[in-house]
Each structure stands twice: as structure tokens, then as C-alpha cells.
Amino acid sequence: MEITKQPVLNIGMVGHIDHGKTTLLSKLTGKFADTHSEELKRGITIKLGYADIIIRKCKKCDSFTREKTCKCGGEAEPYEYVSFVDVPGHEMLMATMLSGAAIIDAALLVIAANEPCPRPQTKEHLIALQAKGLKNIIIVQNKIDLVSKEQALENCKQIKKFVNGTVAENAPIIPVSAQQEINIESIFEEITKIPIPKRDTGSEPIFFVARSFDINRPGTNAKYLKGGVLGGILHQGIFKVGDMIEIKPGMSVKKHEKTEYIPLRTKILGLQAGNNQLEEAIPSGSLAIQTELDPYLTKSDNLVGCIVGKEKQLPDAVFSMKIKTSLFKEVIGTEKAQAVEPIKITEPLLLSINTSISLGIVAKIKGNETDLSLRIPVVALKGSKVGIARNMQGHWRLIGYGEIF
């Protein structure tokens, strides 16, 4: 089978803390195990927080693997190129990030078989995926090595009851042990059944920055310095090497106690997906853009949350926006059920829009239309989803979602 040069799917790992997301990710990809040496070898890819793999299909027994030789001894041929995404951000904010993020096409919802289902974050993440409108969910029932067959079946019943009536109602439930590497192949098989999303290549390009960094070793002679690198997702359109691009809101500068944002202009010097250098990139999995920017500007994720477009094509970043809100009936992520109170004038809300996070103060409310004044400016693209969280007893809790209009 012909393999694409870019991954065709972005798959996010979600689920309650300690249920085995990181362990599973390392078994699925064979990466992250020894991050340090991998990082040296692979440079960009690992720093992105992404791991790309080619899923292979065995010629002899038809099962899926990432190895060249199947467990049965048969030869496994390349089948599909996919990208796993470590959803960026603090674990506490993950639900908020997820509901506003336009960076994943599918999710693995990891649920531990040795605990009652649902745990608070399991519920929180599923509702966030639902708010975002994400339908491609694979439920991974993990840690089956710790329970008896009866317990596993009982847990599976609980999972089915929990997802009943949600977007994951018909999601497959795959029992595995990530740690003991039992039944991982079935996850690959389910991934290959996910329909590849239709991508928009006709519109002006829009790229969401999820990571940004300086790839130079400390102490590199200025003559040999490489320009700043942006990692993220091309949402629509096509980028080519040589394109002149603009990055907004851009660089933040402190001026008389005030922070100002200056859009950046630069040229695309290179495009990279996994280990492939591309002349042009279409929307699909994770992508790295090598630029002419001073690496000082891109180091340490400085430009995360920015949007990249072709020169003169992006709207300006704004300090206020209007959204249509849909609030949940109940607060998500708390142990005890709690009703969501209506949004109030002047209250602060944590907003997640694509790869950016901003604090919004409620300025005006009319029905479900809310005007927000923003602490950090955003490029407010009409139709973008917004995750909305409210601070309750010191925790940001997802209370609903909105859409920019």
C-alpha cells in the first residue's frame, strides 16, 4: 500500500490520571521510553509532544503491528501513517483544552479496569470530547492484568452504562494491559477503521501553534544558528517552502506595565512531518515549520497559541470577542453533582480556543450571546469552538462551550 508523507490522523490520549495513558502511548509508539537519546536522534519530532508511527499489516495473518515482522513471523507491510498527540497543557485544564482544541481527529479514552467507572476525569474528558463534536473514540480498558475475568466483565458493564447516550455509545471497548503489552494490536486495528477526515486544501492556510522551540545546541556559533521552529497543526489550506507567513498575536513585549503583542513576519524554510522533509504540506497530522525567525522568539514554547497564515491574510488579534454559549446542566469533574449557575457579568472565565488559552471577563450577556473582554488577545476566527471553565473552590471546572460569531 502507498504510504502518505504526512500522517493522516491525529489521535489524542485522554482519561483519568494514572489509568495508563503514558504507558500505553510508549507501547503504541515505541517512543518516549528513552526520551533523552530519542530527542537527540530525532530532533524535532519528540519535542513536539507528538509521536508518529506507521501501522503495518501482516501479509500472513492480517493482524496489525508497528513492527516489520509480525508475532506470527510473517512480513508486515506499511498500512497507515498516524500521529499520536500528547494533549498539551496542565492535566487539570485538559478538559477545557480538549473542548476548544482543533488538534485531534480521534481519541483513545483510557479507563483502568481495576477501578469503578466513571472516575471524575474520565467523565470530564468524555464530555469535553462531546462538546467539541469529536465522534471517533476508542475506549481502552486497561490494566486487565490486575483483575479477574469476572471483574473485567463487570467493569465493562459499568463502562457501557456510563457511555450510554453519549457520543461514545457505539465506541469499541478494547481490553488491554499496556504494561504487559497484551492486545495492543487490537487498538491498531480499531485505529485503521477510523474514517480519514476530509481536509480543506482550497482555503487560505491556517496553522495552530501547539509548540515552539529553538533547535540549536547551546553555544552554537551565530553563523550556524538555525531559525525558530513552530510545531502544530495545519487546519486548512496548503503551505509551501518559501511562503511568506505571518504569526499572530505574535511576540509579547512589556511596555510601561502593559503587555503588547507584535505580529511576526517570516519565511518558511522547511516543512517536516515525522522524519519526512516536505516541499508542501496539506492539512493532516502534526507538522513542524522551520522559519527564519530569531530562535530566541520561538524558544520554550514562547509562541504557543499563535495562529500562522500567509502574509496579510489573517485577521488581527483582538482583546474582545462575542461567543454563543451552551452551558452544561451539571459541573463536570467534581465528585459530587453540582448545577451550573448562569454566567454573570464581570465574572472571569478560562477560555480555550484552538491551541490558545485566555482569561475572559464577561462584559455583556444577551440570552446565550456573551461578550468577553480578554486578558490575552486571540485571533478570533468565526466558528471556532471555545471551551469555557469557571473557577470553583480553586479549580477550573468545565461548565460548557461556546462558538465565536
Give the H or E element holding residue 9.
Answer: strand 9-15
Burial of residue 268 (number of CB atoms within 10 Å: 0-12, 13-18, 19+): buried
CB of 62 to Zn ion, least distance (A): 7
CB of 332 to Mg ion, least distance (A): 20
Residue placing its CB nearer to Zn ion in the complex, 65 or 298: 65
List the interface residues with ligand GDP, window 137-166 (CB under 6 A): 142-143, 145-146
Place of cell 469535553: 128
Give the H or E element holding residue 105.
Answer: none
Binding mask 69-108 toward ligand GDP (x if CB under 6 A, else -) reads ----------------------------------------
CB under 5 A: which stretch of 71-79, 184-192, 227-235, 322-330 binds Zn ion?
71-79
* Assigned C-alpha cell, 380: 478570533
Backbone phi, psi, residue 44, to 5°: -60, -50
Residue placing its CB nearer to ligand GDP in the complex, 34 or 145: 145
| Residue 22 touching ligand GDP (CB under 6 A) | yes
Residue placing its CB nearer to Mg ion in the complex, 26 or 186: 26
CB of 333 to Zn ion, least distance (A): 42
Of 17, 33, 40, 72, the one binding Zn ion (CB under 5 A) is 72
Select from 288, 283, 360 the least CA-distant residue to 102. 283
CB of 181 to Zn ion, least distance (A): 16
Place of cell 455509545: 169
Of 177, 266, 290, 354, the one binding ligand GDP (CB under 6 A) is 177
CB under 6 A: which stretch of 16-24, 185-193, 281-289, 365-373 binds ligand GDP?
16-24
Residue placing its CB nearer to Zn ion in the complex, 77 or 311: 77
| Residue 60 touching Zn ion (CB under 5 A) | yes
| Residue 22 touching Mg ion (CB under 5 A) | yes
Residue 60 interacting partner from Mg ion, ligand GDP, Zn ion, none (CB closer than 5 to 8 Å by kind): Zn ion
Select from 195, 251, 231, 228 the least CA-distant residue to 299. 228
Select from 55, 68, 6, 4 the least CA-distant residue to 29. 55
Q: For the chain, first and last CA: distance in Å?
A: 43
Backbone phi, psi, residue 6, to 5°: -125, 150
| Residue 21 touching ligand GDP (CB under 6 A) | yes
Q: Which residues contact 254 (CB under 8 A, 6 or more apart)?
A: none
For residues 297 and 357, give the distance between their C-alpha atoms in angstroms, rounded to a whole number.
19
For residues 126 and 103, give the distance between their C-alpha atoms in angstroms, rounded to a whole number.
16
Beta-bridged to residue 73, according to DSSP, are none
Of 5, 38, 43, 74, the one binding Zn ion (CB under 5 A) is 74
CB of 239 to ligand GDP, least distance (A): 33
CB of 23 to Mg ion, least distance (A): 8
3-state helix, strand, coil in the chain (%, to 5): 20, 40, 40
Site residues (CB under 6 A) for ligand GDP? 15, 17-23, 142-143, 145-146, 177-179
Binding residues for Mg ion, per CB under 5 A?
21-22
